[in-house]
Amino acid sequence: MKEEDFLNKIHNFFAFLSRMKHITRWGLMRNTDVENIQEHSLQVAMIAHGLAVISNVFFGKNVNAERVAVWAIFHDCNETLTGDMPTPIKYFNPSIQKAYKDLEKVSKEKLLSMLPEEMVPVYRDILFYDESSYEGKIVKAADRICAYIKCIEEEKAGNMEFKKAAETTLKKIKEMNMPEIEYFFKYFIPGFRLTLDELN
């Protein structure tokens, strides 16, 4: 096989996603502990999966917890191309919000172009998941819960920079009015306020 033919068969999708660890979150805030989108995505996936399990076990729903977890793993992967735009800018006005949504779509299409065409339909369903579905709402809830947990951790470290963000995020979470969220806040959030010794 000629070298140029070999290079044409190389696909960069997963190599590109590995760069998620270089994209930091909370860019406008002073952080005591810098967070990247790769570690954030893992936490969102774990909490989204937990919310789905809570939904099924305690509230009689039929949520596909594994699908929710996969959607959550990939929910910010387009930020390898766009970077993490700070929330105050992203939602500053409807024009900027629409422009960012359009940019998200373009960046996801670019990522899909890095796959063999036979794999594209599978990953298209993951990258362009139905955010309005119940499972999509669980991913959004987990994303917001993780933002709130980040605020708790920063405040525990004495960084009051996140005080207002905590209040705003908590308000958005409560507005979602989902029983899984209430359960998670009652039984799991208090642990995030404890020290390691207290957790043990």
pLDDT tops 90 at residue 4: no
Cα angle 31, 35, 38; round to 5: 170
pLDDT tops 90 at residue 97: no
> Domain limits at 68?
3-199
Q: What is the pLDDT of residue 66?
A: 98
pLDDT tops 80 at residue 89: no
Mean pLDDT of 116-124: 97
3-10: list long-range contacts, CB under 8 Å, 24+ apart.
none
Residue 144's domain is classified under what CATH number?
A: 1.10.3210.10
- Tell me which of 197 and 102 has the higher pLDDT: 197
Asked if 148 and 164 count as a contact pair (C-beta separation under 8 A), the reply is no
Q: What is the pLDDT of residue 200?
A: 86
Percent of the chain whose pLDDT exceeds 90: 80
Q: What is the pLDDT of residue 37?
A: 95
Mean pLDDT of 164-188: 97
Mean pLDDT of 79-99: 69
* pTM (2 d.p.): 0.90
Q: What amino acid occupies position 41? A: S
Mean pLDDT of 57-82: 95
Number of domains in the chain: 1
Burial classification of residue 50, based on how many CB atoms lie within 10 Å of its CB (0-12 exposed, 13-18 middle, 19 or more buried): buried
Residues 122-156: pLDDT tens digits? Answer: 999 999 999 999 999 999 999 999 999 999 999 99
